[in-house]
Amino acid sequence: MAKIPSQLLKGTLEGALLLIIARGETYGYAVQTTLAELGFGTVPEGTIYPLLLKMQKQGLIAAERHASKTGPDRKYYHLTAAGQTAIASFVPRWQQLAQAMARLVEAKDETSQ
C-alpha cells in the first residue's frame, strides 16, 4: 500500500482520530496501529500526539492514566460530548468532499475510456 503524503492527511487526520476514539477508550500506540490497519499507512506518533494534545485542549477528548504492564502508566483517551458534536459536524462534510472527489475521478475515468 502506497504511503499517503502527510499534506493529504492533514485535514482529515483529526476526524479519523475522533472516529477511532469514538469506537471506545484507546491509547496512543493502539491509535497508531488502528490507523495502519485501516489503510492510512504508518502515521508516526510525532504526527498523532500533537493532534491528541490539541483535541484534549479543545475538550473534544479526555484522558485518564491507568497502570501499564510495559512500563510507565498508560494514557487512555475517550470522547467527550464536544467530541461527539465535532464528529457529527465532520462526517457530513467529509462525505460531501469524498462524493465530490469520487465524481471527479469517475468523470476522468469516463473521459479516458
Using CB under 8 A, list all residues that contact other proteins: 27-29, 32, 42, 44-47, 49-50, 53-54, 57, 68, 70-75
Q: State in angstroms the smallest separation of the CB of 43 from other proteins.
A: 9
Contacts of 47 (CB under 8 A, 6+ apart): 6, 9, 13
Rounded least distance, CB 53 to other proteins, Å:
4
Minimum CB separation of residue 91 from other proteins in Å reads 25
> CA-CA distances (angstroms) from residue 43 to 58, 82, 102?
22, 25, 24
When the beta carbons of 64 and 106 are compared against other proteins, the nearer one is 64
Q: Which residues pair with 64 in a beta bridge?
A: 76
Q: Quick one: which of 7, 13, 48, 5 has its CA closest to 30?
A: 48
Q: 46 or 92: whose CB is closer to other proteins?
A: 46
Residue among 52 and 79 whose Cβ is closer to other proteins: 52
Residues 6+ apart with CB under 8 A from 31: 17, 20, 21, 48, 52, 77
Nearest distance in Å: CB 74, other proteins: 5
